[in-house]
Structure 1
Amino acid sequence: MAEVNPFSLSGTQYSQHWPSLISPDYWLNQGFIFATGQPKSAWRWNPGTTFLSTQRGVLSGVVIYLAMVFGGQIIMKKVPKPIRLKRITQAHNLLLTIISGFLLLAFMEQCLPAWRDKGFFYTICGSESWTQSMEVIYYLNYLTKWLEFVDTALLVLKKKKLEFLHYYHHSLTMVLCFEELLGRVSVAWIICSINLLVHVIMYYYYFLASCGKRVWWKEIVTTLQIVQFVVDLGLCYFCLYTHITFHAVVPLPSIGADCRGTRLAAYYGCVLLSSYLLLFVQFFIKTYIKGEKGGHLGFRAMNYDDLKSKKVAEKVEKTE
């Protein structure tokens, strides 16, 4: 029976912590009921059964994605003019802005009460902090990484130059989210949350740019991406060290507690995020400090042809 008062918490699911009107958990539950006829609590992540839950499927996705990048560029060289899908680009950017914001709020609804009641360490390392409700959000976040492949397809059609950072980041982040699901890495919630916050800002910037708006805070997005990886790495290395020292045969300085998650997922996350930090710092120096012509925001082309103005053209001429 529907709640009479949408601001009341009476009669809500065990995983709902906010009033129904503003609760991502409530709306996710309604979505599951509408799509499957069952509540969200009935869903389970089953590797090998759940959609896109096999290592073969993930590897195939990466291969197909890279084939799209390089094969698409070869094909588009033979096409006289770029294919500009302005409306689709706008819709894609706006959709990812909304999805990222919704999933960020979903993480906050689940994690902030746990942080308040049991402490921050519990949320990033506790064995019971990986709940079914959290797993649903992790899985949806993982699916968005497949959706972000559309970014690349749109750029290929526009004949935009793709930097190594672009397809490296897109393909391997999808793999990272998959490994976090397999490894049940508790600290992943804060890594995902920071990433979603950055994506809300970033995709909203792309949406404004695709609508012809000139935005002054483009450099801030790249700066936030770098800060994101610094924070991520600090947490990842802390959790990995905590896990290793807890299980070490030789006594090492330790806090005396374990951190949930497999070592494979932890090693992969630490190595990958370290490489991201180096590549984004390199990009920042090349684009904003050295001021190389043709630089683009983060890992995606920043300007669209239809946004070029006389002022921008004059600036380009000076750099040549």
Structure 2
Amino acid sequence: MSIEFSVDRPFGIYLYDYFDKAYTTVVGSPATEFTFVQGYTPLSTLPEVLVGCITYFTIIFGGRALMNNSKPLPCKFFFQIHNVLLTLVSGALLALLFEQLFPQLYRHGLYYTICSEKAWTPQLELIYYLNYLVKWWELVDTGFLVIKKKKLGKLKRIHVRFGIDWNSISEFLHYFHHSMTMALCYTQLVGKTTVSWVPIILNLTVHVLMYYYYFRTATGAKIWWKKYLTTLQIIQFVIDLVVIYTVTWSYFAFTYYSDFLPNFGTCAGTESAAAFGCAILTSYLFLFINFYRMTYNQKKQQKKDL
């Protein structure tokens, strides 16, 4: 195996070749033959996504009701394996994504890479699809919380000042984020939104750290950088929104008001996918800011009360 760093080989080797061999072994056909086709590719239709979300909430709330009078089930080992695998898979997808994007950014620049239809390559489409499948897998996170009977908010105090139940806010954020991220990835795949790689690459970066954090804490380790992980999630959504709103503005300005509104030109993707993406990412930003504020403000208040 020769190591030769170049624009097309930012890691010294071409990772996609090794991925292609692994993919072919598992699927039975080369990765180069993959195409996302609605109604043919698994989990590629809107009814499947809707049924997935409904099933997710049914299992979660039904499972919590069934577990009310039961003891937590032992699942520490499986929870650790779950988080290790998600850390490794997220890291692998992140590396593959970077390998595909770096040559485009180097040769064609940022605007081409986030807006050109030609930037949506078969290799990237497969990585985006696998990332979408991982979002289905990540729904299992909540299943572990149910069988462990673990409340998402460790703080027992009620925010009396604002009349807000901390556990309810924390649980809503978890359920909403998990289900809607899966739906978000689906809409961007269908819409062939070229700018998808920006939120995906940031999300994968956060998830490598997040699932590693979950794994370490499951082993009993005390991790000092949890607060900074939440901060990183907020920064992620801020960057997402700056980029997404910019290209969405440019698309609509160029398409409908090019005579008098400034713009950078058009951008690949459907209008419905752009609208859904803007709405979901905006809601994430406000939810995580509120999560951060309530978590660490409440901890400060508890320290004052001691």
Q: Fold-level match, TM-score > 0.5?
A: yes
Provide the rounded CA distance (Å) in 2 between the counterparts of 1:20 and 1:160: 41
2:281 to 256, 273, 276: 273
The one of 85, 92, 102 equivalent to 2:75 is 85
Q: Structure 1 pair 139/263, CA: closer, same or farther in 2 (3 Å)?
A: same
Q: Which residue of 1 aligns with 2:111?
A: 121
Q: Which residue of 1 aligns with 2:88?
A: 98
Alignment of 1:106-185 (within 5 A): 106-162=96-152, 163-185=171-193
Assess if the C-alpha contact under 8 Å between 1:125 and 1:260 holds in 2.
Answer: yes
Q: Which residue of 1 aligns with 2:167?
A: none
CA distance in 2 between partners of 1:227 and 1:272 (Å): 16
Select 2:252's aligned residue among 244, 252, 261: 244
Q: Secondary structure at the match of 1:198?
A: helix
2:205 corresponds in structure 1 to: 197
RMSD: 2.2
Q: Is the 8 A contact 1:103 1:137 kept in 2?
A: yes
**1:22 Cα shift?**
4.5
User: Secondary structure, in 3 states, of the residue corresponding to 2:149?
Assistant: coil
Quote how far apart the aligned CAs of 1:35 are. 2.0
Query: Structure 1: which 4+ aligned runs deviate by more than 6 Å?
Result: none
Counterpart position of 1:296: none
**Deviation of the 1:19 alpha carbon:** 8.0
Cα distance change of structure 1 residues 203 and 72 upon mapping to structure 2, 3 Å threshold: same
Q: 1:24 aligns with which of 4, 15, 18?
A: 15
Residue 60 of structure 1 corresponds to which residue in structure 2? 51
Alpha-carbon shift at residue 37 of structure 1 (Å): 3.2
Q: Which AA in structure 2 matches 1:196?
A: L
Where in structure 1 are there 5+ consecutive unaligned residues?
10-15, 294-314
Q: Is the 8 A contact 2:251 2:263 kept in 1?
A: no
State the 1:252 CA deviation. Answer: 3.2
**Matched residue SS, 1:291:** helix
Sequence identity of aligned pairs in percent?
42
Report the CA distance between 1:243 and its aligned residue.
Answer: 0.6
Counting matched residue pairs gives: 288
**Quick check: 2:4–2:13 contact (8 Å CA) kept in 1?**
no
Partner of 1:307: none
Q: Distance in 1 between matches of 2:176 and 2:122?
A: 31
**Runs of 5+ consecutive residues of structure 2 not aligned to the other structure:** 153-170
Give the deviation of 1:272 after TM superposition: 0.6
CA separation of 1:256 and 1:172: change in aligned 2, threshold 3 A: closer
The answer for the alignment partner of 1:263 in structure 2 is: 271
Once the two structures are superposed, the pairs formed by residues 218-237 of structure 1 within 5 Å of their partners are 218-237=226-245
Is the Cα–Cα contact under 8 Å of residues 10 and 99 in structure 2 kept in the other structure? no
Q: Distance in 1 between matches of 2:95 and 2:283?
A: 28
State whether residues 52 and 58 of structure 1, in contact with CA within 8 Å, keep that contact through their aligned partners in structure 2. Answer: yes
Amino acid at match of 1:188: S
Shift of 1:18: 2.4
Distance, in Å, in 2 between the alignment partners of 1:144 and 1:104 is 12
Structure 1 residue 83: Cα displacement: 1.1
CA contact (8 A) 1:183 1:262 kept: yes
Question: Residues 123 and 129 of structure 1 are in contact (CA less than 8 Å); yes or no, is this contact kept in structure 2?
Answer: yes
